[in-house]
Amino acid sequence: MQFETPIVIETTEAGTRAYDIYSRLLKNRIIFLGGAIEEETANSIIAQMLFLHSEDPKSDIHFYINSFGGSVTAGLAIYDIMQFVSCDIRTYCVGLAASMGAVLLMGGTKGKRYALPNATVLLHQPLISGHITGPATDLQIEAEEMLRVRSRLYSIISQRTGKSIEIIERDCDRNYWLDAKQALEYGVIDQILQKLP
């Protein structure tokens, strides 16, 4: 089923203007990630963050996440920009923040990471997708790269939650599901929101 992006009509003294909903939200410094984290999505989010930073480097960016994750490299590109810009990034989990979505959620400015009451977070080790073929030496190189990426992700999760690497390794060995209260206790978020502040 094809999803149509909602259009918002705004009337001011200057006239009437139609915006797609995401452009209208961007005017209020709101970025929304819904669905898979892929290269195209990451590039769009990065561009929006850089734009908002250039417009006003002191005002917070509000980053809403409802994502089952996706590409680790695309997700880390977003994460790095979140740390790079001088604006505080407020992150909000609405629905699901899984895998790289969870890393982005916890990548917000400490003290400004939120979840709604029925939100769910999933932590796990990075997955290999597709079918890998090739000589044994190439497979060994790929395996070593996966271990390096896993180590990097665990280091980020440890830093952002305050949990030890050993605890992160244990918990992320298999799917580790957290409801909003558990995400708060684990250090993924800082507050459960009932209403917008």
Catalytic annotation, residues: 99, 124
Token pair 């890998």 in the structure block, residue: 132
H helices present in the chain, as ranges: 21-27, 39-55, 72-84, 100-106, 136-161, 165-172, 180-186
28 SS3 class:
coil
Tell me the C-alpha to C-alpha distance, in Å, between residue 70 and each of 33, 38, 66, 108, 187: 12, 6, 12, 18, 22
Both tokens assigned to 187: 């250090």
Strand 89-98 and strand 61-70: the pairing is parallel
